Amino acid sequence: VMQDPSVDQSIQDCTTALRILNYCSRTVQQNMAVKSRKSSPAADPFADNSSATNVAKAKDESAIASSISFRESEWIIAQKMAACLLQLSELHLIRGSWRDAQYYLEKGHELGEKLHSRIMKFKFLVAFSDFHLRCGSLDSSASNLKDAKEVQPLGEIYIREDAELNMAAGNVDADQGCLSDAVKSYNAAEENFNKMIDAGYIATIEDLVQR
C-alpha cells in the first residue's frame, strides 16, 4: 500500500462527503415516509360536494408535487453518492488498496441496480472493467464491458459515455495484443471527444437541457 498524505487526505474528504450524502438520503426518505403516513382529515358531510372535490384535487396535486420534489432530491443525492463511490474506488486504486477499491465499485453498482439506473450501472461496469484489467483478470474485464454495452444509454447526450466505452474497449484489446482492434476503439473514442467540443454539438446539448 502506497502511503501518500495527499491521497490519504483525499480519501478522508471523499469518505466524509459520502457519509453526509448518506445522512441526507436517509433524511429525505424519512420525511417522505412521514408525509405519506399523514392521513387526510375526515370529509365534512355538510360541505358542498363540488367544493370538497376541488379541495381533494388540490391536496392530491400538492401531494404529487411534493413526491416529485422528494424524488428529484433523492436522485440528485444518489448521483453525488455515485460520483463519490467512483472517486473513492479510483483513490484506493492509486493507494494500492485493491479490496477497498472493489468494495466501493460493488456499492456503486448496487446503487445503480436499486435505482434501476442504466447510466449508473453502465459507469460502474466500465469502472469494474478497468479494475479487473489492472488486476490482470482479462476475462472478467471483457465480461464487464459486454455487460456495460447491454445497459449503455443511447442518444446524442451520451457521447461521453460512448467515449468511455470505446476507451475501455481499446485498453482491453491492447492488453490482449489485438492492436488493430485497439486502434479502432481509440479512433472511435477520439471521434467522440472531437464531437463533444464541437460548437454545434454543444448548442444541441444546451437545447436538450433547457427542454
- Residues 44-50, mean pLDDT to the nearest whole number: 55
Which of 115, 35, 33 is closest to 80 using CA atoms?
A: 115
CA distance 174 to 134: 13
CA distance 124 to 85: 9
- At residue 146, the pLDDT reads 96
Q: Evaluate whether residue 99 is within a structural domain.
A: yes
Helix (H) or strand (E) holding 114: helix 98-115
Range of the domain at 26: 1-36+57-116
Whether residue 199 has pLDDT greater than 60? yes
Whether residue 170 has pLDDT greater than 70? yes
Which of 91, 94, 122 is closest to 109 using CA atoms?
A: 122
| pLDDT class of 210 with cuts at 50, 70, 90 | low
- Give the total number of structural domains in the chain: 1
Whether residue 18 has pLDDT greater than 90? yes
At which residue does the C-alpha cell 446503487 appear? Answer: 111
CA distance 153 to 19: 29
The pTM assigned to this predicted structure is: 0.78
Q: What is residue 177's DSSP assignment?
A: T
Q: Evaluate whether residue 1 is within a structural domain.
A: yes
In sequence order, what are the residues at sequence separation of 6 or more whose Cβ sits closer than 8 angstroms to the Cβ of residue 93? 101, 131, 134
Contact 101, 89 (CB under 8 A): yes
- Residues 136-152, mean pLDDT to the nearest whole number: 95
- At residue 156, the pLDDT reads 79
CA distance 142 to 106: 17
For residues 83 and 59, the model is more confident at: 83
- At residue 200, the pLDDT reads 83
| pLDDT class of 155 with cuts at 50, 70, 90 | confident
Whether residue 69 has pLDDT greater than 90? no
CA distance 19 to 13: 10
Q: Evaluate whether residue 176 is within a structural domain.
A: no
Whether residue 63 has pLDDT greater than 70? no
Q: Evaluate whether residue 157 is within a structural domain.
A: no
Taking the CA of residue 85 as centre, how many other CA atoms within 13 Å lie in the half-sphere pointing to its CB? 26
Contact 73, 28 (CB under 8 A): yes
| pLDDT class of 62 with cuts at 50, 70, 90 | very low
Q: Evaluate whether residue 199 is within a structural domain.
A: no
- At residue 29, the pLDDT reads 80
CA–chain centroid gap for 25, Å, is 15
The percentage of residues in the chain with a pLDDT greater than 90, rounded to a whole number, is: 63
- pLDDT tens for each residue of 175-198: 999 999 999 999 999 999 999 888
- pLDDT tens for each residue of 125-143: 999 999 999 999 999 999 9
3-state secondary structure of 204: helix
Q: Evaluate whether residue 166 is within a structural domain.
A: no
| pLDDT class of 84 with cuts at 50, 70, 90 | very high
Which of 120, 88, 122 is closest to 103 using CA atoms?
A: 88
With both helix axes pointing from N to C terminus, report the angle between 49-95 and 5-37 in degrees, rounded to the nearest 10. 160
Q: Evaluate whether residue 89 is within a structural domain.
A: yes
